[in-house]
């Protein structure tokens, strides 16, 4: 393992632990209630945003990684993170103060943006060397989606505090 990859492997482990822990918490929230509260939605959107931020940091560093297996691991973990967010989002849709139809990122619906990212990362699992070549575009797209969830979470927090 190259010295530079130590930090990348640390971020991989941190993201993996974060996703496993928070996926369980979010699933318990969704499965234990008929209606998810706004407070629970804030929690869920914070987890989405933080997961995507951690993924973004990893993708940004992928341009410096030469090891094919490490790039494949980044692609797999990024794909799993995006899929988790994308497929969990509809479960909390009815509790957010805006309709998902109004959530657009870079002239695309947020679900479409996540879907496109998911397809791209799935391709990089098979051809991991391409990840380091296109990491800047992926970084920007992931960052935009992460910021959208962060903004939504912040907006919902303010609404909860005012009520």
pLDDT at 37 (0 to 100): 80
Residues of the chain with pLDDT > 70: what percent?
91
What 132-136 contacts at long range (C-beta under 8 Å, 24+ apart), as own/partner pairs, is 132/62, 132/63, 132/64, 132/65, 132/66, 132/71, 135/59, 135/60, 135/62, 135/63, 136/63
Distances (CA, A) of 46 to 38, 40, 43, 50, 157: 12, 10, 5, 6, 10
Give 96-105 pLDDT, tens digit per residue: 655 566 678 8
Nearest to residue 48, comparing CAs of 126, 154, 119, 137? 154
Average pLDDT, the chain: 87
Domain boundaries, the chain: 5-162
Q: Which of 39-43, 54-58, 89-93, 107-111 has the lowest mean pLDDT?
A: 89-93
What's residue 38's pLDDT? 78
Band (2; pLDDT cuts 50, 70, 90): low
pLDDT tens, residue by residue, 137-163: 999 999 999 998 888 888 778 777 765
> pTM for the complete prediction?
0.89
């Amino acid at each position: 393992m190259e010295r530079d990859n130590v930090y990348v492997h640390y971020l991989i482990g941190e993201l993996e632990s974060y996703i496993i822990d928070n996926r369980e918490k979010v699933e318990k929230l969704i499965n234990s209630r008929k209606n998810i509260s706004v407070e629970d939605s804030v929690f869920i959107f914070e987890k989405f945003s933080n997961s995507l931020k951690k993924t973004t940091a990893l993708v940004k560093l992928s341009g410096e990684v030469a090891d094919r297996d490490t790039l494949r691991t980044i692609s797999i973990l990024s794909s799993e993170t995006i899929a988790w967010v994308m497929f969990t989002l509809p479960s909390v849709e009815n509790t957010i103060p805006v309709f998902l139809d109004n959530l657009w990122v870079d002239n695309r619906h947020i679900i479409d943006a996540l879907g496109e990212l998911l397809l791209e990362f799935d391709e990089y699992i098979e051809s991991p060397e391409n990840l380091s070549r296109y990491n800047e575009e992926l970084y920007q797209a992931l960052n935009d989606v992460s910021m959208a969830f962060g903004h939504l979470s912040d907006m919902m927090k303010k609404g909860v505090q005012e009520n």
